[in-house]
Structure 1
Amino acid sequence: MSVVASNVSAPAPSATGWMALLQEDDLALQTAAVSQLLTHVNTLWHQIAECLPDLESMAENTELPMELRQAAAAVASRVFFHLQEPQQALRLALEAGPQHFDPLEQHSPYVQRLVAAALDSFLKVKQDESVSVPKDQLQGMVYRLMDASCQAGHFQHALGIALEAQEVEKLKEILASQDTAFLEYAWKTCVENVTAKSFRQQALQVVADCLEKKPRTEAAYDLVVVYQLLNQPKAVAQTLVELLGSDDKLLGLQLCFDLMDTGDQAFVEAVAAEIPQEGFDQARKILVDGFPGEMALSFLHKHSHADPLIMENLKKALEERSSGSRSSVLHHAAVMTHSYLYTGTTNDSFLRKHLDWMKKASNWAKFSATASLGVVHSGHITEAMHLLQPYLPEEGQGEVSTAGGFAEGGSLYALGLIHAQPGTSAAKRHESLQYIRGHLRTSHANEVQSHGAALGVGLTAMGSADLVICKELKELLDTDSAVSGEAAGISLGLVLVGTGAGNPNSKLSEEFSELVAELKNYARETQHEKIIRGIAMGLALINFGQEENADACIEEMRSDRDPIMRYGAQYALAMAYCGTGSNKAVRILLHTAVSDVSDDVRMAAVLGLSFVLYKTPGRVPELVKLLLESFNPHVRYASCMAVGIAMAGTGNPESIALLEPMLDDMTDYVRQGALMGTAMIYMQCSDSKKTRAFREKLFSIVGEKHQSTMTKMGAIMSIGIIDTGGRNCALKLGSRLGFNKMTSAVGLCLWLQHWHWFPMMHFWSLALTPTYTIGLNSNFQYPKKFSIVCKSKPSAFAYPKKMEEKKEEKKKRVETVTLSTTAKEKARLARKRVKLGIYGEEMDVDAPKEEEIKEDDAKEEVVENKAEAERKVPQPSEFRVSNPSRITASQSLVCQYDLEQRYQPVRPTATPMGVIILKDTSTQEDDELETLRSPADEPEGETVPPETFVWTPPQPK
Structure 2
Amino acid sequence: MASAAVVKRANGGMKKGEEVEGQQKLTSAQGLIALLDEDDDRLRACALKQLDEVVPDLWFEVSSSIATIEALYEDESFGERNLAALLASKVFYHLGELQESLTYALCAGSLFDVTEQSDYVQTIVGKCIDEYMKQREKGEISGEEIQIDSRLEAIVQRMFKRCLEDGQLEQAIGIALDSCHLDLLRTVAEHGQFDKKLLTYALRVCQNLIVSRKFREKALRLMVDLFKQLDQPDWIVISQCLMFLDEAAAVAEILTNLLGQDSDSILLAYQIAFDLFENEQPQFLSKVSDHVEKMLKKAEQPAETAADGEKPAASQEGAEPMEADQEMTGAAEGAAPAEKKEKPSSEEKESDRKVNKLLSILQGDAPIKLHLEFLYSKNRTDPTILKNLKSSVETRNSVCHSAIIFTNALMHMGTTVDTFLREHLDWLARATNWAKFSATAGLGVIHRGQLSQGQFLMAPYLPSDGSSGSPFSEGGALYALGLMHCDKGKVIRDFLLQSLRNASSEVVQHGACLGLGLATLGTDDEEVFEDLKNVLYTDSAVAGEAAGIAIGLLSVGTGSDKTEQMLAYAHDTQHEKITRGLALGCALVMYGREENADALILQLCQDQNPILRYGGMFCIGLAYSGTMSNFAIQKLLHFAVSDVSDDVRRAAVMCLGFVMYSQPEQCPHTVALLSESFNPHVRYGVAMALGIACAGTGMKEAMNILQVLSKDAIDFVRQGALIATSMVLLQQPESKVSGFRKKLDKIVSDKHEDVMCKMGAIIAVGLIDAGGRNVNIRLRSRNGFPRLLSVIGMAVFTQYWYWYPLSYFMSLPLTPTAFIGLNENLDMPKFSVVSKCKPSIFAYAEPVEHANNVLTSKAPTAVLSTTAKAKARAAKKEDAKKSTSEKGKENADSNKMEVEGEAAELEAAGDEKKEEGSKPKAEATEEQKENPTRVVPAQEKHVHFLAGSRFTPINENAKSIGIVLLKDNEPGKELEVVNIPVNTEPPASTEPPPPEPFEYNSALD
Q: TM-score range by the shorter chain?
A: 0.7 to 0.9
Alignment match, 1:911: 959
Contact 1:345 1:376 in 2 (8 A): yes
Match of 1:918, SS state, is strand
Evaluate the alpha carbon distance shift between residue 220 and residue 358 of structure 1 in structure 2; reply closer, same or farther with a 3 A threshold. same
Alpha-carbon distance between aligned partners in 2 of 1:638 and 1:656, rounded to the nearest angstrom: 15
Match of 1:744, SS state, is helix
Alpha-carbon distance between aligned partners in 2 of 1:795 and 1:887, rounded to the nearest angstrom: 13
Alignment match, 2:385: 310
Alpha-carbon distance between aligned partners in 1 of 2:990 and 2:47, rounded to the nearest angstrom: 95
Contact 1:935 1:943 in 2 (8 A): no
Residue identity opposite 2:473 in structure 1: A
Q: Which runs of 5+ in 1 are unaligned?
A: 1-9, 502-512, 835-860
Structure 1 residue 289: Cα displacement? 5.2
Q: In the alignment, does 2:745 pair up with 1:699?
A: yes
CA RMSD of aligned residues (A): 3.2
Alignment match, 2:211: 195
Residue identity opposite 2:550 in structure 1: S
Alpha-carbon distance between aligned partners in 2 of 1:298 and 1:832, rounded to the nearest angstrom: 66
Match of 1:788, SS state, is strand
Alpha-carbon distance between aligned partners in 2 of 1:956 and 1:651, rounded to the nearest angstrom: 43
Contact 1:295 1:934 in 2 (8 A): no
Candidates 706, 712, 718, aligned match of 1:671 = 718
Evaluate the alpha carbon distance shift between residue 76 and residue 933 of structure 1 in structure 2; reply closer, same or farther with a 3 A threshold. farther
1:804-883 to structure 2, matched below 5 A, reads 804-805=849-850, 816=867, 869=917, 872-883=920-931
Alignment match, 1:506: none
Alignment match, 2:51: 37
Q: Which moved more, 1:651-660 or 1:241-250?
A: 651-660
Candidates 914, 933, 938, aligned match of 1:890 = 938
Cα distance per residue 1:447-496 (max 9 Å; x no partner): 10011001111101111122222222111111111111111111111111
Contact 2:461 2:997 in 1 (8 A): no
Alignment match, 1:88: 100
Runs of 4+ in 1 over 6 A off after TM superposition: 128-134, 817-821, 829-834, 864-868, 938-942
Residue identity opposite 1:915 in structure 2: I
Alpha-carbon distance between aligned partners in 1 of 2:852 and 2:211, rounded to the nearest angstrom: 61
Structure 1 residue 328: Cα displacement? 0.9
Contact 1:175 1:207 in 2 (8 A): no
Residue identity opposite 1:481 in structure 2: S
Structure 1 residue 104: Cα displacement? 4.5
Q: Which moved more, 1:381-390 or 1:151-160?
A: 151-160
Q: Which has the larger radius of gyration?
A: 2
Cα distance per residue 1:763-795 (max 9 Å; x no partner): 0100111111111111111122x2122121111
Alpha-carbon distance between aligned partners in 2 of 1:937 and 1:132, rounded to the nearest angstrom: 63
Candidates 85, 109, 114, aligned match of 2:124 = 114
Cα distance per residue 1:275-312 (max 9 Å; x no partner): 13645111111111511001111111110000010111
Structure 1 residue 259: Cα displacement? 0.6
Cα distance per residue 1:790-817 (max 9 Å; x no partner): 12111110111010115999xxx99957
Residue identity opposite 1:234 in structure 2: A
Evaluate the alpha carbon distance shift between residue 62 and residue 883 of structure 1 in structure 2; reply closer, same or farther with a 3 A threshold. same
Candidates 374, 379, 398, aligned match of 2:449 = 379
Cα distance per residue 1:405-437 (max 9 Å; x no partner): 11000000000000116xxxx5xx212111101
Alignment match, 1:745: 791
Alpha-carbon distance between aligned partners in 2 of 1:18 and 1:84, rounded to the nearest angstrom: 23
Candidates 573, 576, 582, aligned match of 2:620 = 573
Alignment match, 2:583: 536
Contact 2:684 2:717 in 1 (8 A): yes
Contact 1:464 1:496 in 2 (8 A): yes
Alpha-carbon distance between aligned partners in 2 of 1:221 and 1:538, rounded to the nearest angstrom: 34
Q: In the alignment, does 2:450 pair up with 1:450?
A: no
Alignment match, 1:460: 519
Candidates 241, 246, 262, aligned match of 2:256 = 241
Alpha-carbon distance between aligned partners in 2 of 1:249 and 1:343, rounded to the nearest angstrom: 33
1:247-286 to structure 2, matched below 5 A, reads 247=262, 248-276=265-293, 278=352, 280-286=355-361
Q: Which moved more, 1:300-309 or 1:144-153?
A: 144-153
Alpha-carbon distance between aligned partners in 1 of 2:869 and 2:789, rounded to the nearest angstrom: 60
Cα distance per residue 1:679-705 (max 9 Å; x no partner): 2222212322x5323212212212212
Structure 1 residue 657: Cα displacement? 2.8
Alpha-carbon distance between aligned partners in 2 of 1:79 and 1:664, rounded to the nearest angstrom: 54
Alignment match, 2:85: 73
1:211-226 to structure 2, matched below 5 A, reads 211-214=227-230, 217-226=232-241
Q: In the alignment, does 2:119 pair up with 1:103?
A: no
Alignment match, 1:393: 463
Q: In the alignment, does 2:859 pair up with 1:793?
A: no
Q: In the alignment, does 2:163 pair up with 1:163?
A: no
Contact 1:224 1:255 in 2 (8 A): yes
Residue identity opposite 2:838 in structure 1: K
Evaluate the alpha carbon distance shift between residue 90 and residue 715 of structure 1 in structure 2; reply closer, same or farther with a 3 A threshold. same
Contact 2:377 2:980 in 1 (8 A): no
Alpha-carbon distance between aligned partners in 2 of 1:577 and 1:537, rounded to the nearest angstrom: 15
Structure 1 residue 939: Cα displacement? 11
1:616-627 to structure 2, matched below 5 A, reads 616-627=663-674
Structure 1 residue 674: Cα displacement? 1.6
Q: In the alignment, does 2:661 pair up with 1:614?
A: yes
Evaluate the alpha carbon distance shift between residue 607 and residue 833 of structure 1 in structure 2; reply closer, same or farther with a 3 A threshold. farther
Alpha-carbon distance between aligned partners in 2 of 1:694 and 1:618, rounded to the nearest angstrom: 22
Contact 1:88 1:132 in 2 (8 A): no
Residue identity opposite 2:371 in structure 1: A
Q: In the alignment, does 2:950 pair up with 1:902?
A: yes
Alignment match, 2:540: 481
Match of 2:751, SS state, is coil
Alpha-carbon distance between aligned partners in 1 of 2:29 and 2:880, rounded to the nearest angstrom: 93
Structure 1 residue 262: Cα displacement? 0.7
Alpha-carbon distance between aligned partners in 1 of 2:816 and 2:258, rounded to the nearest angstrom: 28
Cα distance per residue 1:622-669 (max 9 Å; x no partner): 222222211111111121222223332233344323222322211111
TM-score by length of 2: 0.82
Structure 1 residue 141: Cα displacement? 3.3
Contact 1:404 1:448 in 2 (8 A): no
Alpha-carbon distance between aligned partners in 2 of 1:519 and 1:832, rounded to the nearest angstrom: 89
Evaluate the alpha carbon distance shift between residue 25 and residue 473 of structure 1 in structure 2; reply closer, same or farther with a 3 A threshold. same
Q: In the alignment, does 2:116 pair up with 1:135?
A: no
Contact 1:777 1:918 in 2 (8 A): yes
Percent identity between matched residues is 39
Alignment match, 1:415: 481
Residue identity opposite 2:259 in structure 1: L
Q: Which runs of 5+ in 2 are unaligned?
A: 1-23, 297-351, 857-862, 883-908
TM-score by length of 1: 0.86
Q: In the alignment, does 2:43 pair up with 1:55?
A: no
Match of 1:608, SS state, is helix
Cα distance per residue 1:497-530 (max 9 Å; x no partner): 11122xxxxxxxxxxx2x3211111111111111
Alignment match, 1:500: 559
Alpha-carbon distance between aligned partners in 2 of 1:565 and 1:340, rounded to the nearest angstrom: 31
